[in-house]
């Protein structure tokens, strides 16, 4: 049972991290919906160690799926190419707000921000916002038009995703589209900008964890599942948005959000 849940949650992490539907919301809601959050056999799924394993898997997938982009950046930086160095600076600038918010609100992320009614509400509101921005903003600027201002504003949007239900990829894509970037441009930038924040968050979490406790079969299963599903999802997503809008994700978020709020009210 524990191995199966590690596989399920690892797969959910990979799928939901790079779709604009919020991985943290799904990882929080799935045990709650099925009443498993107090199951002692599955307690490992709520530990810092398991969370680190899942995010480490997604971080590895970002490196592999966008390997050509990373190699080009490193080679350019080694040659002191200004374009490459600026782009690395943009990624770091986008990561700073999220890192600051993560430290400031670390306790709230594990407590009040995980209230099911709040997650349901943020799923709905930010899903509709994603669709509306993409629908009504007509500009389709390529990625090479990224600026410091755009990078900073996308970073502020990414910081808001510490609240489960907002969605890191959803918030960054919404901000990027609002700033005039094309779907393909902001999606690729969103995936690349995820590496510093995801890897940084995993490393930051290690301060609570003895290294000897980082190795278990369940965490290994979660890591592999997250890595494989993240890789496949990123490749699929970049192809999907070339021909489709974000409407399907909006309807999914609204349906899940309404269902969660209704279940919360029923349970009292």
Question: In this prediction, what percent of the chain has a pLDDT beyond 90?
Answer: 71
Task: Label residue 204 by pLDDT band (50, 70, 90).
Answer: confident
Q: What is the pLDDT of residue 46?
A: 65
Mean pLDDT over all residues of the chain?
90
- Angstrom CA distances, 16 to 47, 78, 121, 137, 164, stand at 19, 34, 17, 25, 12
Structural domain boundaries, residue 73: 2-267
| 3-class secondary-structure state, position 141 | strand
Over residues 84-113, mean pLDDT: 90
Q: What is the pLDDT of residue 212?
A: 58
Q: What is the pLDDT of residue 144?
A: 94
* Total number of domains constituting the chain: 1
Residue with tokens 């930010």: 126
Model confidence at 176: pLDDT above 80: yes
- Angstrom CA distances, 205 to 43, 111, 124, 184, 209, stand at 18, 16, 29, 32, 7
Alpha-carbon distance of 256 to 254, in angstroms, equals: 6
| 3-class secondary-structure state, position 181 | strand
Name the DSSP class of 268: -
- Angstrom CA distances, 226 to 23, 73, 219, stand at 11, 25, 10
Better-scored residue on pLDDT, 215 or 134? 134
Q: What is the pLDDT of residue 41?
A: 61
- Lowest mean pLDDT, pick from 71-85, 87-101, 118-132, 211-225: 211-225
Q: What is the pLDDT of residue 216?
A: 79
- Lowest mean pLDDT, pick from 45-49, 106-110, 138-142, 175-179: 45-49
Model confidence at 209: pLDDT above 70: no
pLDDT tens profile 240-250: 998 999 999 99
Q: What is the pLDDT of residue 70?
A: 96
- Beta carbons of 167 and 237 less than 8 angstroms apart: no
Q: Residue 71 has which token pair?
A: 């190699």
Task: Label residue 31 by pLDDT band (50, 70, 90).
Answer: confident
């Amino acid at each position: 049972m524990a191995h199966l849940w590690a596989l399920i949650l690892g797969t959910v992490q990979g799928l939901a991290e790079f779709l604009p539907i919020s991985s943290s919301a799904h990882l929080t809601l799935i045990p709650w919906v099925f009443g498993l959050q107090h199951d002692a056999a599955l307690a490992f799924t709520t530990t810092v160690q398991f969370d680190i394993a899942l995010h480490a898997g997604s971080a590895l997938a970002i490196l592999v799926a966008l390997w050509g982009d990373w190699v080009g950046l490193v080679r350019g930086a080694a040659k002191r190419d200004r374009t490459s160095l600026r782009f690395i600076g943009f990624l770091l600038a986008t990561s700073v707000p999220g890192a600051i918010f993560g430290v400031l609100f670390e306790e709230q992320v594990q407590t009040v921000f995980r209230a099911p009614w709040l997650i349901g509400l943020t799923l709905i509101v930010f899903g509709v916002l994603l669709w509306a921005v993409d629908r009504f903003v007509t500009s389709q600027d390529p990625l090479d038009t990224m600026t410091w201002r755009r990078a900073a504003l996308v970073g502020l949007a990414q910081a808001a995703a510490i609240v489960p239900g907002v969605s890191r990829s959803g918030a960054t894509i919404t901000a990027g589209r609002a700033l005039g970037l094309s779907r393909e441009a902001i999606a690729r930038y969103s995936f690349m900008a995820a590496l510093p924040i995801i890897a940084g968050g995993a490393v930051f979490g290690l301060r609570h964890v003895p290294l000897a406790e980082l190795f278990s079969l369940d965490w290994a299963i979660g890591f592999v599942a997250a890595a494989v599903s993240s890789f496949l999802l990123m490749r699929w997503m970049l192809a999907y948005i070339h021909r489709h809008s974000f409407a399907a994700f909006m309807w999914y978020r609204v349906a899940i959000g309404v269902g969660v709020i209704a279940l919360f009210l029923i349970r009292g």
